[in-house]
């Protein structure tokens, strides 16, 4: 099963729409509720990141009998120091993002805690690609 | 604790899904930081918050939270109400401050997550 979604820069009103669709699909497939929660929390955090920090991007979702894999690929400034960005409390978020209830430097660590596999590739001035996998077994 | 009882303790209005207030929640978690809410693994949590925007509803949706309690008389807009109804989410609204709300509910036996 393959799905794609679009993320638009600064479109906070729609932040979470893709995560919501993914959640509905996983529910229809009768996937364990804790695994659904882990995946959609991670996707939601990543979706907020793409809207807040990048110039928009795409979300690619693949589901098979063993796992769900989500790739969020954005066009954007890239992450200067991934190790630093992974540290809890480190944030470059704007005031607007903080008003939304995010921007405390918890997103990437939270993503890491929820998924079974995380891979972040980033190039300065080009963009960031985050791959997240949750295994069903 | 029954949601109906919670609403009575803090004199809250039920803004969405009134048919579900006979249900229960086990824990209360108070935060305006949605990333903090998204770290919770527990189910049957009520979110107590002063943050009143679409992300409050989305966060509850992703975290499997079925009750949001808005403090300080924060008023959700139409879009928030619709999204909450779509997701079978109860929104309660109280005039009390976060501190007073949490104090009353804790004293009456609502469990903290941590």
**Averaged over B3-19, what is the pLDDT?**
98
Residue A13: closest C-alpha in chain B: B54
B86 near A CB under 8 A: no
**What pLDDT, on the 0 to 100 scale, is given for residue A12?**
86
Q: How far apart are CA B50 and CA A88, in angstroms?
A: 23
Q: How far apart are CA A84 and CA A79, in angstroms?
A: 9
Residue B39: closest C-alpha in chain A: A110
Residue A18 pLDDT > 90, yes or no? yes
SS (H, E, C) chain A: CEEEEEECCCCHHHCCHHHHHHHHHHHHCCCCHHHHHHHHHHHHHHHHHHHHHCCCEEEEEEECCCEEEEEEEEECCCCCCHHHHCCCCCCCCCHHHHHCCCCCCCHHHHHHHHCCEEEEEEECCCEEEEEEEEECC
Residue B8 pLDDT > 90, yes or no? yes
Per the prediction, chain B carries an average pLDDT of 97
Number of H helices, E strands in chain B: 5, 6
In chain B, residues with a C-beta closer than 8 Å to the C-beta of A101 are: 32-35, 51, 53, 55-56, 59
**What pLDDT, on the 0 to 100 scale, is given for residue A137?**
86
| DSSP letters spanning B75-109 | ---HHHHHHHHHTT-EEEE-SS-HHHHHHHHHHTT
**What pLDDT, on the 0 to 100 scale, is given for residue B98?**
98
**Averaged over A35-56, what is the pLDDT?**
94
**What pLDDT, on the 0 to 100 scale, is given for residue B13?**
98
Q: What number of other Cβ atoms are within 10 A of residue A128's Cβ?
A: 25
> Inter-chain contact B62–A19, Cβ cutoff 8 Å?
yes
Residue B54 pLDDT > 90, yes or no? yes
Per the prediction, chain A carries an average pLDDT of 94
Task: Answer yes or no: are the C-beta atoms of A131 and A69 closer than 8 Å.
Answer: yes
**What pLDDT, on the 0 to 100 scale, is given for residue B67?**
98
**Averaged over B49-65, what is the pLDDT?**
97
Domain that includes residue A94, residue range: 2-135
Of A23, A34, A102, the CB nearest to B62: A23
**What pLDDT, on the 0 to 100 scale, is given for residue A126?**
96
Question: pLDDT tens, A99-119?
Answer: 889 989 999 999 999 999 999
A vs B: CB pairs below 8 A:
68
Put simply, whether the predicted model's pTM sits higher than 0.90 gets the answer yes
**Averaged over A113-135, what is the pLDDT?**
97
ipTM value for the complex = 0.92
Q: How many domains does chain A have?
A: 1
Instruction: For residue A20, give the CATH number of its domain.
Output: 3.30.565.10
Q: Which of B40, B48, B58, B82 would you mutate first to test chain A, the one with the most A CBs within 10 A?
A: B58
Residue A10 pLDDT > 90, yes or no? no
**What pLDDT, on the 0 to 100 scale, is given for residue A13?**
86
Q: How far apart are CA B85 and CA A102, in angstroms?
A: 24
In chain B, residues with a C-beta closer than 8 Å to the C-beta of A40 are: 62
> Inter-chain contact A106–B54, Cβ cutoff 8 Å?
no
Residue B36 pLDDT > 90, yes or no? yes
Cα distance from B52 to chain A (closest Cα, Å)? 9
Question: pLDDT tens, A26-41?
Answer: 999 999 999 999 999 9
């Amino acid at each position: 099963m393959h799905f794609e979604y679009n993320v638009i820069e600064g479109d906070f009103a729609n932040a979470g729409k893709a995560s919501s669709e993914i959640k509905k699909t996983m529910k229809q497939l009768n996937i364990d509720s804790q695994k659904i929660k882990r995946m959609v929390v991670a996707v939601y955090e990543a979706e907020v990141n793409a809207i807040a920090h990048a110039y928009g991007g795409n979300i690619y979702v693949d589901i098979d009998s063993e796992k769900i894999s989500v790739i969020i690929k954005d066009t954007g400034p890239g992450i200067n120091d991934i190790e630093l960005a992974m540290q809890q409390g480190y944030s470059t978020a704007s005031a607007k993002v903080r008003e939304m209830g995010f921007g405390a430097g918890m997103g990437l660590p939270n993503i890491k805690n929820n998924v079974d596999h995380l891979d972040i590739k980033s190039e300065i001035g080009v963009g960031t690609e985050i791959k997240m996998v949750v295994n069903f077994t | 604790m029954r949601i109906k009882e919670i609403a009575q303790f803090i004199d809250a209005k039920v803004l969405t899904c009134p048919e579900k207030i006979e249900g229960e929640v086990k824990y209360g978690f108070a935060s305006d930081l949605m990333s903090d809410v998204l770290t919770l693994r527990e189910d049957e949590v009520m979110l107590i918050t002063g943050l009143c925007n679409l992300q409050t509803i989305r966060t509850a949706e992703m975290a499997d939270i079925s009750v949001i309690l808005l403090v300080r008389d924060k008023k959700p807009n139409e879009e928030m109400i619709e999204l909450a109804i779509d997701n079978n989410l109860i929104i309660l609204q109280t005039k009390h401050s976060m501190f007073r709300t949490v104090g009353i509910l804790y004293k009456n036996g609502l469990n903290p997550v941590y």
